[in-house]
Structure 1
Amino acid sequence: MENLFDIPSEYKDLRASVRALAEKEIAPFAKAVDEDHRFPQEAADALQKAGLAAAHVPTEFGGDGADALAVVIIIEEVARVCGASSLIPAVNKLGSLPLMLGGNKDQKQRWLSQLAQGKGFSYCLSESDAGSDASALRTKVERDGDGWILNGSKKWISNAGISEFYTVIAQGDASLGSKGITAFVVEKSDPGVSFGAPEKKMGFRGSPTREVYFDNVKLADDRRISEIGEGFALAMNTLDHTRITIAAQALGLAQGALDVATKYSHERKQFGKEIFDFQGVQFMLADMAMNIEAARQLTYVAASKSESNEKDLRFFSAASKCFASDVAMKVTTDAVQILGGYGYVSDYPVERMMRDAKLTQIYEGTNQIQRIVMARNLPNA
């Protein structure tokens, strides 16, 4: 019988090539990136050179045209050695997907071609008082002749200040609620755009998270990438596709932690034998591997549904992100436990992986919100 649950060879080859690149050109800098709270420029350069920083960009705009599963594998393998570096391809897809879903061909040519050349793209939805309740945003856009004027701020923006382009979701008519919201592309060089200080974070310290401010930013109408009043729907549709990249990130963190813990369990000896030989440790490693494989299958199915835009995507997207991130938190915590005192210090990467894993349960919708999304979109058997 044909193996229906095995990925085609081209994806396996992609995994091997990304893993080799990550081990050689990203892993050696991961510790310093975390400890120094600095952007992983080495990873950015390596990913860009290999065409992996924005592989999802269609070939007609200079990208590789990678499908959703390929992007998942890229992010997974980078996150396996460095969570912060995996946010480069993940944020580029998140920031540019609204343009790909809602923009016209001229707009796509204008910005996607530059993204493919290495100019990053971030996503501006969350605000101080609009996180899980994203429709409560207060960043305001007003008509100005044939154009628009943008005022307000966005919070928790990944790679802010590094990216050249920003998808900004703004309210044009508060009386209409979510139906008054419209989406725009804002450029870093636009007059009136500025950035707050980098947040001091528990994890993902190499990816700058900053507030973005808009002070009377003038935008021509060709910056608008949604129909007027349809920006919120576009933002939510985007997340249905990109939550899967967070699942991929969680997978990579979990797999990296399991790899370290397994290797350590054979090296560490207590009471005259490897700690791997103790049943308690074996049970932990078995559960870690089992749950990672379950999360991987769910994530890959969700990626397939994203590519074909199937009607049950919303459930599978939320489920993959929720399950994989919960697995990552458990696996990385157990990896720290297996390494004992060594797991608690930065000599080994598992404490960094545990800190990074926590965020995957929070951003792009907390796992509590994901469970609400799943409940409202239960698939038919």
Structure 2
Amino acid sequence: MTDLIALMADLEEYLGDPWDAGALMPYPRILAADEDQRYPHEFVDVLASWGLYDWIVPAANGGKAVNVEDGFNLYRLVGRRDPTSATAMVLTSLSYMPVWIAGSPEQRQHFADAIRGGRKLAWGLSERRHGSDVLANETTARRTDGGWLLNGEKWTIGNATVACTVMVHARTSDKGGPGGYSIFAVEKDCVPPGQLAHLPDEPLHGLRGLDMSGVRLTDCFVPDSALVGRAGQGLEIALKSSQLARIAIASIAMACVDTALRSTLDFAGRRVIFGGTVAEVPYSRRQLAESFAELLIADALTTGAVRSLQLAPAQASVWSSVVKYFVPTLLEETLARLTTVLGARYYLRGHPRHGIFQKVLRDFAISNFADGNTVVNLKNIALQLDGLLAGAVGQDPGEVARARA
């Protein structure tokens, strides 16, 4: 079993003091990259050199991923420094999930080697006109000699331009429906000229340096070997992948609040007003304590959901939707409380010690709508309530603990 605490301590030490400008991943350079809306190549490369990508690649394919919880917490640690860098790397992890779930042994190994070699992946699911309604997607794939021809656009796709491979969710049946979609691994290096074009990068409110663009496919040929899983299995694979995505987003949300709380505590312990520090004011002390308690609640719920992916995968659809709805909703209120304690400093982008607060406040917003918004996740929970209530039974918590051990 991985000594996760020691592993996280090693990564923290490797990255150095976040306030030391000479460290590998310090706040001053992170904020500068954010101001310039610059993709965090330098930080992603630093993290890849440490071996972070190994923790999203299965051990069977040369990586170190055994427990999903390990990778989740490592990315959460990175997110405390820079949610943009963490999200950029999580996007590659989520884009690998279709292959991990349904790919052939050859595909799993091929893309595992690509990731560990520093190549980025993108998950081409959403479209401009349809958003979360993936059964309305219009991108098509039709059979041709030796492969498939893809036509359509995928829009607001994280890593779409910087990625070497885009996993494309496309309609393979004219009638559509649950069995009418498939997933294809489109490797850009192998696409003939003129068949794939990048859509413009969309400026973002938070995660300013993230590549959020898209691709346009025009009679884009991919060989039969590009099909991930079976033809018609696309929706099933996408839904299973989304379960991890919903929980992974929670790591970014908690990381943002963690950094916001640390910044506010730093202020509250230093700032003297009315004859004492802000931390000595009863109201402020209560706000800080409640914020920490809410972060612990989110952590406890999310830990259970992460473990469910392996211990109780049949329940992962419910767990992931509960986390995706509850954690951002709860922690949004936590952030609002912290802004009250921090006061005007939370609004200052260039403050030497609290400029990071306004960044994580903006970056946090993505957790509310990425990979299914609040309404989508509440609907998913509602659709399963009858079955959950009918089969509700008590469970020995010791059983879960023993399974984890």
Q: Distance in 1 between matches of 2:3 and 2:347?
A: 38
- Deviations along 1:44-73, whole A, 9 cap, x unmatched? 111111110352112343322252101110
**1:176 CA drift (Å):** 3.2
- Deviations along 1:94-153, whole A, 9 cap, x unmatched? 100000111111111222211111101110100012212111101111111231000111
Which of 359, 370, 373 is the equivalent residue of 2:366? 359
- Deviations along 1:147-206, whole A, 9 cap, x unmatched? 100011111111221111111100112313232100110112223222122111100112
Name the aligned partner's letter for residue 162 of structure 1.
V
User: Contact 2:196–2:216 (CA<8 Å) still a contact in 1?
Assistant: yes
**1:309 CA drift (Å):** 4.8
Q: Distance in 1 between matches of 2:93 and 2:84?
A: 15
Look up the match of 1:97.
Answer: 97
Which of 243, 257, 262 is the equivalent residue of 2:260? 257
Aligned to 1:205, what secondary structure does the other structure show? coil
- CA distance 1:291–1:370, shift in 2 (3 Å): same
User: TM-score, length-normalised on structure 2?
Assistant: 0.88
Which of 327, 330, 335 is the equivalent residue of 2:338? 335
Aligned to 1:156, what secondary structure does the other structure show? strand
Name the aligned partner's letter for residue 257 of structure 2.
A
**1:302 CA drift (Å):** 0.9
Q: Distance in 1 between matches of 2:103 and 2:358?
A: 41
Q: Distance in 1 between matches of 2:238 and 2:324?
A: 17
Which of 312, 317, 327 is the equivalent residue of 1:324? 327
Q: Distance in 1 between matches of 2:139 and 2:80?
A: 36
Look up the match of 1:225.
Answer: 228
Name the aligned partner's letter for residue 13 of structure 2.
A
Look up the match of 1:122.
Answer: 122
User: Contact 1:54–1:89 (CA<8 Å) still a contact in 2?
Assistant: no
Which of 294, 304, 310 is the equivalent residue of 2:307? 304
Q: Which residues in structure 2 correspond to 1:131-170 (within 5 Å)?
A: 131-170=131-170
Look up the match of 2:396.
Answer: none
Look up the match of 2:247.
Answer: 244
User: Contact 1:247–1:322 (CA<8 Å) still a contact in 2?
Assistant: no
Q: Distance in 2 between matches of 1:323 and 1:20?
A: 32
- Deviations along 1:303-357, whole A, 9 cap, x unmatched? 1111235211111111122222223322333333322111101122111111111
Aligned to 1:228, what secondary structure does the other structure show? coil
Q: Distance in 2 between matches of 1:20 and 1:360?
A: 28
User: Contact 2:179–2:235 (CA<8 Å) still a contact in 1?
Assistant: yes
Runs of 4+ in 1 over 6 A off after TM superposition: none
Look up the match of 1:64.
Answer: 64
Q: Distance in 1 between matches of 2:382 and 2:267?
A: 40
Q: Which runs of 5+ in 1 are unaligned?
A: 1-7
Q: Distance in 2 between matches of 1:43 and 1:66?
A: 25
User: Contact 2:161–2:214 (CA<8 Å) still a contact in 1?
Assistant: no
Look up the match of 1:31.
Answer: 31
**1:223 CA drift (Å):** 0.2
1:375 aligns with 2:378: no
Aligned to 2:369, what secondary structure does the other structure show? coil
User: TM-score, length-normalised on structure 1?
Assistant: 0.94
- CA distance 1:228–1:148, shift in 2 (3 Å): same
- CA distance 1:21–1:326, shift in 2 (3 Å): farther
**1:9 CA drift (Å):** 7.4
How many pairs align? 374
1:11 aligns with 2:4: yes
Q: Which runs of 5+ in 2 are unaligned?
A: 394-405
**1:11 CA drift (Å):** 1.6
Which of 13, 20, 28 is the equivalent residue of 2:13? 20
Aligned to 2:81, what secondary structure does the other structure show? coil
Quote the sequence identity (%).
24
Q: Distance in 2 between matches of 1:372 and 1:18?
A: 39
What is the alpha-carbon root mean square deviation over aligned residues?
1.7
